[in-house]
């Protein structure tokens, strides 16, 4: 093992396997997993086997087996049959080029160059051909593997895809109130892709956080969130197998959510109470996830071992997305984006995590998009060993970040232990907030991350939180918050159309240069809590049913709406950012879809010279049909005339 890899292995607690692995079974040619002729041994791999799918071979997994395969290294293509039920029990799946079987190299981002030939590929469905039956991958700990790194599914410069049957929506608002003892649920709209037998979760609409004015240790101890099985579906009406035990309110424009946790593609730990598994993409990898379920994953109190993890990918995975995923019952976060830009995360359900849920790890991540996700019950954890940001107590935020230059739109955070939405930066001896961050032209520049505004923060909602609904750079963990450092008056934080209800503290904003354009607070104890009104401008702030005080311990004077947007002078000189997320060949044409985000109005999106059509507001989703081609180039222009400086370029295979 080269010295620098050994050093990294020791730094992150990895070790070589303590026991010798059995001989490696290698693919002899392309073919089905279940065919003896596919393998050089002349036998189908069985329990304890170490398997290598060799470069140039395509092996199709077509089995439903209880045998636990020790490990599968994919240097060729390993795909799941889309038209039959499959079950794979395995200790490790690693997608990486090379003709040797290995259970090492979990820091492969440091050593694996971008593939110049055919990528190794692990395909549990594809965007064009999702799994139509069921596919289950059950991760087992196998003796001799390292418990801190295995079991796992890891992509090291290859392609990794998980795609189940699409849904119109993975979660919806209640359409009518649901009373205790009822078993019939009316949704706000009729979903497609939901099935009898699916597990749904109904979010609490009344927080249970205090007894005699003392905070309970966790929302999980006194929750009114409920899990149920769907017995029947008729349009927007679900019949549950058991009645609900609590009321779920719909009143005054405020409603709880119903989320579907079930998918026909599942990745899970075989021993949720034992050694859990995790999944990880590394630099130069490719692939996306849609409508797949990741459950009982995440290694508790272990750095870098999360249910779903994009690790130090930089710009190399631009074009990847996580759409419609269900990530639940995690012992270590739902989705971690670490040192990775341009990832699109949409319509996902995160339910019950230890520590933060949707998490941006080291304050360098920019241009990621979180759109219409549900974060439910991110519960209190503790700091992880050797974590990058030592000031983070990992105390349970639905969405947590230290670099705001990302997009958050249409998300709901509900019933989390500490925060619904949390921006936190604490400068000190353990952290210098001046970091090298990607710029619109693709270069990197050292900036104080506290000064970076949102790309977009709009139409988000928080309810039923144990403490904070939205904390923007405020106090926490005994700190001074952002310590008076923030964006300038021309590039402020902009918060549009935020809704908070049934929470303790509705809004805690210590960052300077903040423009609020619509903020509704209802049925909360405190409205504006310890705000520092340095270069703030507020319009459309409404507070109803405030039980303690609308404004507590402010610094300075709350700005008047008549002065809006003064003292700020917002200037739009930020170009949009675009990601091509989907390419499909149809009748000799290419259907190209993508996502664009901007701090204001987008004027146009252009792909190979053709203007795309917006399919949701402001080109948050768009589509264009093109003549067949092998290369794509997409960029956007906003209403202020700013043109994207680094178009997304993608090859079509």
The model's confidence at residue 118, banded by pLDDT at 50, 70 and 90, is: confident
Q: Are 203 and 174 in contact (CB under 8 A)?
A: no
Give me the mean pLDDT over the 279-298 stretch: 97
Last residue of a domain, one of 260, 277, 292: 260
**pLDDT above 70 covers what percent of the chain?**
93
The answer to whether the peptide bond before residue 446 is cis (omega within 30 degrees of 0) is no
Give me the mean pLDDT over the 526-539 stretch: 96
Compute CA 172 distance to the chain's CA centroid, rounded to the nearest angstrom.
18
Write the pLDDT tens digit of every residue in 543-570.
999 999 999 999 999 999 999 999 999 9
Structure-model confidence comparison of residues 14 and 196, the more confident one: 196
> Given a cut of 90, is residue 17 above it in pLDDT?
no
Decide: residue 608, CB within 10 A, 0-12 exposed, 13-18 middle, 19+ buried: middle
558 and 491 within one domain: yes
Last residue of a domain, one of 212, 232, 260: 260
Domain, as residue range, for 606: 577-651
62 and 123 within one domain: yes
Position 538 scores a pLDDT of 98
> What residues contact 586, with CB distance under 8 A and at least 6 apart?
none
Give me the mean pLDDT over the 474-478 stretch: 73
Q: Which of 496, 497, 494, 473 is nearest to 483 (CA)?
A: 473
Position 116 scores a pLDDT of 60
Position 126 scores a pLDDT of 96
pTM of the predicted structure, to 2 decimals: 0.95
Write the pLDDT tens digit of every residue in 600-616.
999 999 999 999 999 99
Report the helix count and the strand count for the chain, using DSSP H and E. 1, 55
> Given a cut of 70, is residue 35 above it in pLDDT?
yes
CA distance 591 to 585: 6
* DSSP element (H, E) containing 551: strand 536-552
Give me the mean pLDDT over the 421-435 stretch: 95
> Given a cut of 80, is residue 4 above it in pLDDT?
no
Q: Are 135 and 124 in contact (CB under 8 A)?
A: yes
370 and 325 within one domain: no
Q: Which of 413, 352, 374, 353 is nearest to 226 (CA)?
A: 352
The model's confidence at residue 138, banded by pLDDT at 50, 70 and 90, is: very high
113 and 1 within one domain: yes
532 and 458 within one domain: yes
Q: Which residue has the tokens 């423009």?
A: 515
Give me the mean pLDDT over the 151-177 stretch: 97
Write the pLDDT tens digit of every residue in 355-388.
999 999 999 999 999 999 999 999 999 999 999 9
Q: Which of 320, 327, 202 is nearest to 263 (CA)?
A: 327
316 and 268 within one domain: yes
> Given a cut of 90, is residue 184 above it in pLDDT?
yes
Q: Which residue has the tokens 């071992």?
A: 305
Q: Are 575 and 453 in contact (CB under 8 A)?
A: no
Please give the backbone phi and psi of residue 59, each rounded to the nearest 5 degrees, phi first.
-110, 130
229 and 313 within one domain: no
CA distance 125 to 18: 34
Residue burial 67-78, b: 16+ Cβ < 10 Å; e: rest: ebbbbbbbbbbb
Last residue of a domain, one of 260, 284, 312: 260
Token pair recorded at residue 292: 């797949």
Position 653 scores a pLDDT of 84
Q: How many domains does the chain have?
A: 4
626 and 607 within one domain: yes
Strands, E assignment, 564-630: 577-586, 589-597, 602-607, 610-611, 613-614, 622-627
Tell me 281's DSSP state: E
> What residues contact 582, with CB distance under 8 A and at least 6 apart?
127, 591, 592, 593, 594
408 and 342 within one domain: no
83 and 63 within one domain: yes
Give me the mean pLDDT over the 140-161 stretch: 96
Position 22 scores a pLDDT of 77
Give me the mean pLDDT over the 435-444 stretch: 97
* DSSP element (H, E) containing 215: strand 214-215
3-state secondary structure of 271: coil
Looking at residue 635, which CATH number applies to its domain? 2.60.40.10
3-state secondary structure of 498: strand
The model's confidence at residue 222, banded by pLDDT at 50, 70 and 90, is: confident
CA distance 171 to 186: 13
Which whole-number Å values give the CA distances from 461 to 255, 359, 503, in the listed order? Answer: 11, 17, 11
Decide: residue 447, CB within 10 A, 0-12 exposed, 13-18 middle, 19+ buried: middle
- The CA-based angle 356-266-77, given to 5 degrees, is 110
Give me the mean pLDDT over the 457-465 stretch: 97
> Given a cut of 80, is residue 213 above it in pLDDT?
no
495 and 399 within one domain: yes
51 and 9 within one domain: yes
């Amino acid at each position: 093992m080269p010295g620098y890899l050994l050093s990294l292995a020791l730094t992150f607690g990895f070790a070589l396997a303590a026991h010798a692995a059995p001989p490696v079974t290698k693919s002899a040619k392309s073919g089905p997993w279940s065919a003896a002729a596919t393998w050089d041994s002349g036998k189908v791999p069985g329990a304890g086997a170490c398997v290598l799918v060799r470069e140039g071979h395509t092996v199709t997994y077509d089995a439903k087996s209880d045998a636990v395969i020790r490990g599968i290294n994919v240097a060729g293509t390993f795909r799941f049959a889309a038209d039959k039920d499959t079950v794979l029990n395995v200790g490790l799946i690693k997608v990486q080029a090379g003709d040797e079987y290995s259970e090492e190299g979990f820091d492969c981002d440091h050593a694996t160059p971008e593939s110049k030939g055919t990528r190794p590929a692990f395909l549990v469905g594809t965007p064009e051909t999702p799994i139509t039956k069921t596919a289950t991958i059950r991760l087992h700990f196998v003796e001799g593997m390292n418990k801190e790194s295995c079991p796992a599914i890891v992509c090291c410069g290859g392609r990794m895809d998980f795609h189940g049957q699409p849904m119109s929506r993975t979660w919806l608002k209640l359409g009518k109130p649901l009373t205790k003892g009822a078993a019939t649920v009316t949704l706000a709209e009729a979903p497609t892709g939901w099935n009898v037998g699916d597990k749904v979760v109904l979010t609490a609409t009344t927080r249970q956080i205090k007894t005699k004015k003392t905070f309970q240790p966790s929302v999980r101890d006194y929750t009114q969130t409920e899990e149920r099985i769907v017995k029947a579906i008729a349009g927007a009406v679900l019949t549950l197998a058991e009645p609900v035990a609590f009321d779920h309110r719909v009143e005054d424009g405020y409603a709880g959510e119903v989320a579907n946790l079930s998918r026909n593609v599942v990745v899970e730990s075989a021993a949720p109470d034992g050694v859990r598994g995790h999944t990880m993409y590394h630099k130069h990898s490719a692939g996306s996830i849609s409508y797949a379920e990741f459950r009982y994953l995440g290694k508790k109190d272990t750095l870098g071992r999360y249910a779903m993890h994009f690790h130090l990918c930089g710009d190399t995975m631009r074009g990847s997305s996580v759409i419609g995923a269900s990530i639940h019952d995690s012992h270590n976060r739902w989705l971690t984006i670490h040192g990775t830009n341009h990832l699109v995360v949409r319509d996902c359900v995160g339910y019950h995590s230890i520590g933060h849920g949707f998490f941006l790890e080291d304050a360098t991540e920019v241009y990621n998009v979180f759109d219409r996700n549900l974060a439910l019950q991110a519960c209190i954890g503790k700091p992880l060993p050797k974590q990058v940001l030592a000031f983070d107590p990992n105390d349970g935020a639905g969405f947590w970040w230290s670099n705001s230059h990302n997009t958050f739109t249409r998300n709901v955070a509900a019933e989390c232990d500490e925060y619904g939405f949390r921006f936190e930066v604490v400068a000190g001896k353990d952290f210098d907030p001046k970091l090298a961050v990607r710029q619109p032209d693709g270069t990197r520049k050292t900036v104080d991350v506290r000064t970076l505004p949102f790309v977009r923060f709009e139409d988000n909602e928080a309810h039923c939180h144990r403490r904070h609904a939205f904390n923007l750079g405020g106090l926490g963990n005994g700190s001074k918050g952002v310590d008076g450092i923030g964006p300038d008056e021309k590039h402020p934080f902009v918060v549009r159309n935020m809704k908070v209800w049934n929470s303790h503290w509705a809004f805690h904003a210590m960052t300077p240069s903040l423009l609020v354009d619509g903020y509704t607070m209802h049925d909360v104890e405190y409205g504006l809590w310890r705000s520092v009104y340095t270069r703030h401008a507020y319009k459309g702030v409404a507070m109803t049913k405030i039980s303690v005080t609308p404004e507590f311990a402010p610094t300075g004077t709350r700005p008047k709406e008549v002065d809006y947007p003064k003292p700020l002078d917002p200037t739009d000189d930020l170009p949009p950012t675009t990601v091509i997320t989907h390419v499909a060949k149809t009748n000799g044409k290419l259907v190209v879809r993508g996502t664009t985000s901007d701090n204001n109005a987008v004027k146009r999106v252009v792909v190979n010279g053709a203007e795309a059509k917006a399919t949701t507001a402001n080109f948050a989703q768009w589509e264009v049909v093109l003549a067949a081609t092998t290369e794509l180039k997409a960029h956007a222009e906003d209403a202020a005339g700013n043109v994207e400086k680094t178009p997304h370029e993608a090859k079509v295979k």
